[in-house]
Amino acid sequence: MGTSSDKAELFALLKKYRAGQCTPEEIAQVEAWLDSFEELPDNDAMTAAANEVVVNVMHSLFPPKGKLRYILYAAAALVVLALTGLLFLFRFNTKTPVAVTYAAISTGKGERKNVTLPDGSQLTLNAASSVIIPSDFGQERRELTLSGQGTFDIRQNIKQPFIVHTGSLRTVVLGTVFDIKAYPGDAALQVAVLSGKVRVEKQQQQHTEILATGIEKDQLLTYNAGTGKHELKPCNAEDIAGWQQNKLFFDQATIAEIAQVLERQYNIHIMLTGTARRQCRYTLQLKNEPLNKALLLLEQLSGISYQVNNNEIKINIASCE
């Protein structure tokens, strides 16, 4: 609106708008005029234009007639100017939230990966595992989700605890080294601490239950998702995290539990046959053994028999001891 007649028309319309006398069509016209300022290229231009518009409008709406009235109207103009400035600042300075995206890193059977996280922390992913990392990791939070097994070496940041989500549990640390095993289908989740301290929480719908806090080096927390029970006991954390050096440690494990680990580590398929006469459990460690030697050691220890057919192994557990 550049001509005098255009300005007069605008001012008359604004008077009606101010008095609440506009028709719906006129209200839409005024709001469209205000919206047109969204085309201004930057905040300085926006502010200058807003100032000029408000001053011109105030002079037209409230022409000075006497010193006192001028002061009152000038004060009113300042109020309107401030409100207008807030309106434009709100419109132009409100940041559009950036959508959070997620990156997934995974390993196949028989595979491991070393991952450097955005904050410099280190993660070693075991076989058949995955980690999901949000794009805003390290900005206001350090949180990720793990499925499978991983050993974390966390860079300390007292302002941002490091949180690992595994199902309904989350492990909270500041700076420490720990191992989490949380494979889908496993009977229990376990957290073993190699250095520092760790807190493990269970997320409920209405509240968070702390399962254990101050878990220290060579302590192991196990949680059974089926029963909801957990246990904290001593352990050799180096043995538990020994898979990074191809050392597999089993503590009172069943043949089925051992078979699950062998499948992931050696990229094979194991079928269990027969019915065990009792619940056989074994404690053993396999140190970088080839598959055939690992099976032979298991046979000698447990009394089971097995057959190998290409990439499939059948283990008969009927004779376990």
pLDDT of residue 67: 44
Can you give the pLDDT at residue 71? 44
Please enumerate, as own/partner, the contacts of 111-120 that have beta carbons within 8 Å and a separation of 24 or more.
Answer: 111/267, 112/244, 117/142, 117/144, 119/155, 119/157, 119/160, 119/162, 120/155
pLDDT of residue 107: 98
3-state secondary structure of 321: coil
**Angle (CA) 301 277 287, round 5°:** 20
Q: Which tokens belong to 123?
A: 């993660």
**E-assigned strand segments in 74-112:** 102-106
Q: What is the pLDDT along the chain (321 residues), one digit of tens a residue?
A: 445 565 567 667 666 666 666 666 666 676 665 555 444 444 444 455 555 555 555 455 445 544 444 444 554 555 455 555 555 554 555 556 678 899 999 999 999 999 999 999 999 999 999 999 999 999 989 999 999 999 999 999 999 999 999 999 999 998 999 999 999 989 899 999 999 999 999 988 888 999 999 999 999 999 999 999 999 999 999 999 999 999 999 999 999 999 999 999 999 999 999 988 778 999 999 999 999 999 999 999 999 999 999 889 999 998 888
Q: Is the pTM of this model over 0.75?
A: no
Contact of 110 with 127, CB cutoff 8 Å: yes
* 238: nearest Cα among 200, 287, 290: 287
Contacts of 224 (CB under 8 A, 6+ apart): 187, 188, 230
pLDDT of residue 96: 61
The domains located in the chain, with CATH, are 4-93 (no CATH), 102-241 (2.60.120.1440), 246-316 (3.55.50.30)
Q: Which residues pair with 162 in a beta bridge?
A: 142, 173
CA distances 102 to 25, 99, 143, 216, Å, are 46, 10, 11, 31
Residue-level pLDDT at 68? 41
